[in-house]
Amino acid sequence: MSRNLANPSCVLYAARNLVIEDRPVPEITDPHYVKIAVKKTGICGSDVHYYQNGRNGLKVVKSPMVLGHESSGVIAEIGSEVTSVKVGDRVAIEPGIPSRYSDAYKSGNYNLCPCMVFAASPPNNGTLARYFMVPDDFVVKLPDHVSLEEGAIVEPLSVAVHSCRLANVTFGDRCVIYGAGPVGLLIAATAKAYGATEIMVVDIFDDKLELAKQLGATHTYNSSEDRGASEDDNRTFQLAAFGGNVPNIVFDATGVEACITAGINLIKVGGTFMQVGVGKVKIEFPMAAVGNKELTVKGVYRYSHDDYRLAVKLVGEGKVDVKKLVTHRFTFDHAVEAYEVVSQGRAVKCIIDGPEDAE
């Protein structure tokens, strides 16, 4: 179906109203931009929220929007001033473009730019199309031995890299990660690569916890049996599962109130708590423990300077095996089916192929 279209694109009109339609082929008007033939795209949790509900938190789809932001591809065309890449290069695509004039950009924190244009964040179109365009400094070339599928997973891996860099993970750290979704699993793998020596992943699904062990977790804990237990008992059970270790760094990759509370209660005095997952706008929070323990609490928002390059380096050097996350693959013409599968919780990471070229 998509083969005969000039620029087939997966367009979301409203909740569960996703169609493949032709869109104009983008043209380079800025000499520093590149046009990319998208080859692989992963489905992210935010994509699923848009697909299921037509919104993700406060961001609402009000006009048709192309989905997708976890992508890799091949350079199809370059602007006249581009020297960093050439036609035919295989690249990971960083999907958020900040204003070059914002204080956030100039300070190296461009992920916090108030004028960020992020793929598949209303009203901006995403990458799930034949062609996508970005400035040349927002692509990272892939080593020859790194596949395009691995290149697509560089996006969530960059969130993990950003999280571990903000937490200053180093050799000897003891880390606990709540949530064994793709980002939580990648945080575990990245923390290991950065030198953490004890790593526990907490989740309620044994199959995801088994995958966590393959990616670097030294301990796992299924917290489904904790329901109804007191906070003190939860802490006792989880410390026992961690071999009696008290973590100095805790990452919450769930946004779930119970996990946040458990993490704050579990962490060592003077430790660092990293909020990575997004949940309710307002929750009950154990503020007294933060003060009594003199904890450092940090939020994590996407990724920033050098995170993408470091993520590619981790994959290229074999320090993080992102291939283990991929459980489902679909052709472009079956993208709607792919979103349904992920919506039903049946996939860890689902990859959609880019549209086949016309013959």
Please name the amino acid found at residue 162: H
Please name the amino acid found at residue 163: S
Note whether 310 and 160 are within 8 A (CB).
no
Same domain as 191, residue 56: no
Q: Which residue has the higher pLDDT, 279 or 17?
A: 17
Residue 228 binned pLDDT confidence (cut-offs 50, 70, 90): confident
**Residue 314 above 80 pLDDT?**
yes
Same domain as 167, residue 115: no
Note whether 160 and 189 are within 8 A (CB).
yes
pTM for the full predicted model: 0.95
Residue 358 falls within a domain, yes or no?
A: no
Residue 23 falls within a domain, yes or no?
A: yes
CATH number at residue 210: 3.40.50.720
Domain total for the chain? 2
pLDDT single digits (tens) 255-282:
999 999 999 999 999 999 999 998 888 8
Same domain as 220, residue 201: yes
pLDDT single digits (tens) 137-146:
999 999 999 9
Mean of the per-residue pLDDT values for the chain? 95
Best CA proximity match to 146, nearest among 326, 321, 328, 353: 321
**Residue 358 above 60 pLDDT?**
no
What average pLDDT score do residues 321-346 get?
95
pLDDT at position 359: 40
What average pLDDT score do residues 316-322 get?
98
Same domain as 122, residue 214: no
The tokens describing 355, both together, are 């549209």
Residue 355 binned pLDDT confidence (cut-offs 50, 70, 90): very high
- Cα Rg of the chain, angstroms: 20
Same domain as 99, residue 43: yes
For 18, the domain range is 2-152+321-353
Same domain as 90, residue 40: yes
Same domain as 261, residue 194: yes
Pairing mode, strands 272-275 and 296-299: parallel
pLDDT at position 357: 64
Same domain as 171, residue 202: yes
What average pLDDT score do residues 174-202 get?
98
Note whether 22 and 6 are within 8 A (CB).
yes
CA pseudo-torsion sign 102, 103, 107, 112: negative
What average pLDDT score do residues 277-296 get?
93
Residue 304 falls within a domain, yes or no?
A: no
**Residue 192 above 70 pLDDT?**
yes
Note whether 69 and 95 are within 8 A (CB).
yes
pLDDT single digits (tens) 164-180:
999 999 999 999 999 99
Residue 122 falls within a domain, yes or no?
A: yes
Residue 315 falls within a domain, yes or no?
A: no
The tokens describing 11, both together, are 């367009």
